[in-house]
Structure 1
């Protein structure tokens, strides 16, 4: 929990590593990700990897009570999946209750090393994550 100020109002907010939005995850196509989630708040939580193909790893998809039990307060869960046949910028987010509004971030899947992009290389890149303003939490 951290007090976050938006539109001149501060609210206690569930964050990831003290950040709102959470950190951007960078990986490469065919990487296997091991992402350890430690729940330090009083709410159940699960993380959904939005748009990531879950090939034989449905338990790592994140919808609470559907593909996994939620991570209870004080508990730990390690997501383990491989980024198969994908590249681009997607996002991850909590998949339970109102936490979807505060627990989210980008996941950037780069091509395999030595594999070019299907377009001219840009001068630079910038990840932009759009979110919502908290009114009552």
Structure 2
């Protein structure tokens, strides 16, 4: 059974591609991880989010692009981000697994992540790899084919 989150991501990615909408391609992103309040099913909860959004922002890029994400930890806990499905040929030490491939980003600190999208295409996702933050700190990575030269 497909989860609601996957269904929504696939549905809207399909609409964007079907309608021929070209998303704005910002290859430099800023992620501010902080606690924010969100209401769902008549209950307000405080949780970690990126840029105050749940789910977090979608990264749009093209195969072959270099994507840079400045991650600023404004929360009160350690955080790392894992780029699920993205190969890390030149940056394997910063793949987001706490104390395995990366030291966590401490509260008040920042980290700049660089990813070269070598042959990935399609809709992937990014998520936190730290304790319970993986439940609220996540979003999509939409990787389009290279632009055709005209």
Is TM > 0.5 for Structure 1 vs Structure 2? yes
From 7, 11, 14, the counterpart of 2:48: 14
Q: 1:37-94 deviations in whole A, cap 9, x for unaligned?
A: 0000001000000111111321231111111100000000000120001110000000
Check if 1:32 corresponds to 2:66: yes
Following the alignment from structure 2 to structure 1, what is the Cα–Cα distance between the partners of residues 120 and 50? 25
What is the SS of the residue equivalent to 1:99? helix
Structure showing greater relative contact order (alpha-carbon pairs closer than 8 Å, 6 or more residues apart): 1
Following the alignment from structure 1 to structure 2, what is the Cα–Cα distance between the partners of residues 101 and 89? 19
Q: 1:4-26 deviations in whole A, cap 9, x for unaligned?
A: 11121111111110101100000
What is the SS of the residue equivalent to 1:52? coil
| 2:105 aligned residue | 71
Query: How high is the TM-score relative to the length of structure 1?
Result: 0.81
Check if 1:4 corresponds to 2:41: no
Preserved contact between residue 92 and residue 106 of structure 1 (Cα < 8 Å)? yes
| 2:89 aligned residue | 55
What is the SS of the residue equivalent to 2:49? coil
Please provide the CA RMSD for this pair.
1.1
| 1:105 aligned residue | 139
Query: How many equivalent residue pairs?
Result: 115
Following the alignment from structure 1 to structure 2, what is the Cα–Cα distance between the partners of residues 21 and 83? 22
Say which structure is richer in strand.
Answer: 2
| Structure 1: unaligned runs, 5 residues or longer | 116-137
Question: Which of structure 1's runs of 4+ aligned residues deviate more than 3 A?
Answer: none
| Structure 2: unaligned runs, 5 residues or longer | 1-34
Query: How high is the TM-score relative to the length of structure 2?
Result: 0.74
Preserved contact between residue 32 and residue 82 of structure 1 (Cα < 8 Å)? yes
